[in-house]
Amino acid sequence: MGELTPLLLLAALLLLFWLIVIRPARRQQSTVSELQRNLAVGDRVVLSAGIFGTIAELDDSRVQLEIAPGTVIEVARQVVVRRAEDSPEPEYLAPADPDEPAATTGGIGTLHSTDTTDNTDNTDTTDFTDRPDAGKA
C-alpha cells in the first residue's frame, strides 16, 4: 500500500484540478459559443473589452454594433461574450433615490467636498530656476 500512496495522491490532485479548473472553463466556453451562434439583430450585448451595444447587422464572422445613436462599429463575432441583460447592474450604477441628495450617495463620481473657497486665482509662485536644467531648451 505504501508504494501506491504517491500514485493515488497524484491521481487525486489531477481529478481535483479537472473539477476546479478544466470543467468550469469548458462549460463557460460552450456557453459563450452557444451565445455567439444564437445572436440576433436587436440583441443588447457586451464585448470582451467591456463595450455595450445593440446588434445592428450580423455576418458569419462579424457584427455591426451600435454603441451610441448613429455610431456603429464592426467587430469580430468572437468578441461578444454575453448579453447585456445577463450581467447584473453594479450597485453604483443603479438609479439613485430621488429624495436623497447626490453629494451624500457615496457613488462613484460624487462630489464630497464641503470646501466653498474660491480657487480661481491659479497663480503659480514656484521658482524652478535653481534646477540644473533650468533655462536650457
Please spell the DSSP secondary structure of 64-125, one letter per residue. Answer: EEEEETTEEEEEEGGGEEEEGGGSPPPGGGSPPPTTS-GGGS--TT----------------
Average pLDDT over residues 118-135: 61
> For residue 53, what pLDDT band results from cuts at 50, 70 and 90?
very high
pLDDT score of 85? 81
The class of domain 7-88 in CATH terms is mainly beta
User: Which pTM was predicted?
Assistant: 0.52
| Dist CA 130 CA 137 (whole Å) | 15
pLDDT score of 3? 85
Best CA proximity match to 40, nearest among 18, 73, 64 = 64
More confident residue, 127 or 50: 50
pLDDT above 70 covers a percentage of the chain that reads 61
Q: How many CB atoms lie within 10 A of CB 107?
A: 13
Q: How far is CA 111 from CA 24, 94, 105, 115, in A?
A: 42, 17, 10, 11
Average pLDDT over residues 52-68: 94
> For residue 107, what pLDDT band results from cuts at 50, 70 and 90?
very low
Residue 92 DSSP symbol = G
Q: What are the domain boundaries of the chain?
A: 7-88
The pLDDT of residue 93 is above 80: no
